Amino acid sequence: MDDKIQQLIRKFIAVPGYYFGINSIVQKILRFMHGSKLIVVNYHSITDVYQDHDLFTISRFIFEKQITYLKERYNIISFSDALKRMRYPKDDKDFLVITFDDGYKDNFINAVPILLKHKVNACFFITTELIGHFPDGATRGIKKYPGMNREDLKAMCNMGFEIGAHTLSHPNLLQIPLNRAQNEISESMKQLEQILQQEVTYFAYPGGKRSIHYNNAIKEMVAAAGYELCCTTNRGRNSLRSFDMLEINRITVQNWWSPFYFAREIEGIFDFKILDKRR
């Protein structure tokens, strides 16, 4: 579609579209033209205490609302199902995979019960140095939160959730020597496989933005390590007909999003430029 026409649609139809179901009609037309999309949603920390919030910590209440919303509108599937469905890219609804990055304990305590309640699958990308980690008060960055332990990870595996690697220590892979980057990528796979006693073939780049956190050299390293699927945080949906398995776009949920904003980010067809100034 022409850029100007798209902009006009965004400006004049997005809000009534949300309330009167025009969005879903437009989605159907786009799906007919381009085939089904694979939408990958990315969460980090899910909490029930409203304190020490960063941009990527979502309350349990909002998280459940979002899961309910997504379940009504999308086929929520696992990555292994998504890979199978690539061969049959047409469906009534777009496909959606839910992911969690880093491996926080609150995922196990707060998110997993909600996912089980709504019978929704998800993939968890684990930073292995966070496994069993309990913050000592002095630690910053991702280590300021407790991590899941080995038993949590094994239990999640048994519940049918998918586990992927997210390096050993969550570095920016572009800012460390290549041999260290290689170690971060391959050792995290080995450690998780040893804990879970099963193959780990999914990976998420820490930070996740192309040219800032990874590049082609890192991508090749990840492929050479034996990963078959890698997630970025590059914003966007993926066409089931032609997505790059080693560079999957995701929608990273932030805690200031209203229900309307959440809906438009997931649908991705009415991108208001004016709201994008905030990111």
Which spans of this chain sit near Zn ion (rule: CB under 5 A)? 101-102, 206
Give the nearest distance from C-beta 102 to Zn ion in angstroms.
5
Give the nearest distance from C-beta 10 to Zn ion in angstroms.
31
Q: Which helix (H) or strand (E) holds 162?
A: strand 162-165
The CA-based dihedral angle spanning residues 243, 29, 235, 267, taken in that order and rounded to the nearest 10 degrees: -130
Write the DSSP symbol of residue 147. B
Complex with Zn ion: residue 147 or 206, whichever CB lies closer: 206
Q: Which helix (H) or strand (E) holds 229?
A: strand 229-231
Q: Could you tell me which residues come within 8 angstroms of residue 178 by beta carbon, excluding any fewer than 6 positions away?
A: 217, 221
The residue sitting closest to Zn ion, measured at its beta carbon, is 101
Cβ contact 127:167 at 8 Å:
yes
Which two three-digit tokens encode residue 200? 């780990």
Give the nearest distance from C-beta 170 to Zn ion in angstroms.
6
Complex with Zn ion: residue 74 or 108, whichever CB lies closer: 108
Which two three-digit tokens encode residue 191? 């450690």
Give the nearest distance from C-beta 117 to Zn ion in angstroms.
26
Q: Cα(36)–Cα(93) distance, rounded to whole angstroms?
A: 7
Give the nearest distance from C-beta 15 to Zn ion in angstroms.
33
Q: Which candidate, 189, 240, 207, places its Cα nearest to that of 34?
A: 240
Give the nearest distance from C-beta 107 to Zn ion in angstroms.
12
Residue 46's beta-bridge partner residues? Answer: 58
Complex with Zn ion: residue 102 or 152, whichever CB lies closer: 102
Complex with Zn ion: residue 94 or 101, whichever CB lies closer: 101
Complex with Zn ion: residue 17 or 206, whichever CB lies closer: 206
Cβ contact 162:80 at 8 Å:
yes
Which two three-digit tokens encode residue 19? 């309330």
Complex with Zn ion: residue 213 or 264, whichever CB lies closer: 213
